[in-house]
Amino acid sequence: MCSIIGYCGVCSDFRAFLAGFDATVSRGPDDTKIVDTGRGLLGFHRLAIMGLTPEGMQPFQLQNSYLVCNGEIYGFEKIRDQLRGQYSFRSDSDCEILLPMYRVYGTRMFELLDAEFAMILYDGESDSYIAARDPIGIRPLYYGTDSNGVTVFASEPKNLVGICSHILPFPPGHYWKDGTFHCYCDIAYVEKVCMDDIETVCGNIREKLIDGVEKRLVADAKVGFLLSGGLDSSLVCAIAARRSERPIRTFAIGMQKDAIDLKYARRVAEWIGSDHTEVMMTREEVLDSLEQVVALLGTYDITTIRASMGMYLLCRWIHRNTDIRVLLTGEISDELFGYKYTDFAPDAAAFQAESVKRIRELHMYDVLRADRCISVNSLEARVPFGDLDFVRYVMCVDPEKKRNRYGMGKYLLRHAFDREDYLPQEILWREKAAFSDAVGHSMVDDLKAYAETLYTQEEYEEKRRRYPHAMPFTKESLLYRELFEKYYPGQSDMIAGFWMPNRSFAGCDVDDPSARVLSNYGKSGV
């Protein structure tokens, strides 16, 4: 995934800077470099995925300008060919095109990129810094100011603890210049609703998702796939399997006691002919790794932490036992097509408003989870459902068609692949189960039971009131908050709050984020 940092002015404490930067060396274990721009510092930890030669090492330099970028630039070959007459490229790295692009287009370049990226650029001609992040926030970026008022950017908040007193996420779809944020893309904004018929819509969904997967198969390092057995990851794997000359490698995880999804993942693997690996986890492993997971995530959100337990342990296994460097995942589908709780949305406008909210906040929840669990294990995450063209299209589709009017959630996505036998029918039309439940109901039950042993009711009531922002409302959420504060004291507003079903929807005023507490859970846990 790589790790970047930018100190946009005189660094008064290089030791603190270095300690902060080294906190994320696992994101880029292949090489490290720091350059003095003359007006600050740019640092880069490299995970070599594209352009594996030493020439692909960053920071990139063009005359007296420098750039660091954690990203994948899709279709960069075409842009590079357009620029070859003006610039001589030294590597096959996709990110090397960015400085030349900036020279030609300025900040308008961000609108032209089909990419997952976070970048920091020092413009030597204007003696100024620019930072930017992709429209969804798939690649992480945070910022703050030091005691001297110098702005500092970095891949993760742990880079900035000890340097900045207040740390915030860099807003997706924005660039920062001259101390001001500018929105270049609001990916959730719909200018005109698409009123195409269902068959046309589903055809476009199918083709755009296939294209999104194909883009993300391009890598100079080995690629693997997380396969939960749910609809989203299964579709990604099925598409990739059809586009690959040899069997793809898929990985699944579940509790030893009651893994729900493993049998479905096994069925998908057999269907698509993948080289499949199952990893089992225990109650002891979950509890033993809990504090480490909260520390690497930088969140106290219940859903994010629960879902991260299995994902972290699986990615750790992949890192320790394979030479895979890139993982494709199934995140972002739910925010586009709906969760279990959005079945209760009273009308199409409410459904769409919920989708807009979730897409704009993704970088604090599911996207954060995927990035941290994968990157801490020196792997790169790629998210086909986050393809910009795909997201723009689905957001524009008439929300009345996206609502569950069909007796099955995500109907449009399912129907889009109901031909050509991409998946077995029992997988394609399977009831949704959230990952944190699907690895085994016992995992969440174990976490909740463990938290119950740590606090009396009186202790719980007293301690939770110490945190007025996003106040814990269960003993489990208090446990997570105390672990968060241990590593990120006073930084709770990095997260908007708890990911929960919309309590304004009838049937959704619940005290737990799991779909298990909803009346429409149905066969999700079977």
Catalytic residues: 2
Residue 392 three-state SS? helix
Task: Find all residues with CB under 8 Å of 95, minimum gap 6, and list them.
Answer: 50, 58, 60, 67, 69, 71, 73, 117, 119
For the chain, the first-to-last Cα distance in angstroms comes to 35
CA 179 to mean position of chain CA atoms:
26
DSSP element (H, E) containing 61? strand 60-62
Residue 48 three-state SS? coil
By DSSP bridging, strand 142-145 and strand 115-123 are unpaired
DSSP element (H, E) containing 223? strand 223-226
DSSP element (H, E) containing 200? helix 198-215
Tell whether omega for the bond before 424 is within 30 degrees of 0, i.e. cis: no
C-alpha neighbours within 13 Å on the C-beta side of residue 444: 22
Tokens describing residue 318: 């992949």
C-alpha neighbours within 13 Å on the C-beta side of residue 306: 27
Contact 471, 478 (CB under 8 A): no
Q: Burial letters for 195-211: b for 16+ Cβ neighbours within 10 Å, e otherwise?
A: eeeeeebbebbbebbbb
**CA nearest neighbour of 365 among 169, 80, 86:** 169
DSSP per residue, 118-186: EEEEEETTTTEEEEEE-SS--S--EEEE-TTS-EEEESSGGGTTTT-SS-EEPPTTEEEETTEEEES--
Euclidean distance between CA atoms 37 and 372, whole angstroms = 29
Euclidean distance between CA atoms 157 and 20, whole angstroms = 9
H helices of 326-474, in order, are: 333-337, 348-361, 366-375, 388-396, 399-402, 411-416, 425-428, 435-438, 441-452, 457-464
Task: Find all residues with CB under 8 Å of 154, minimum gap 6, and list them.
Answer: 3, 4, 5, 6, 20, 21, 24, 141, 142, 143, 160
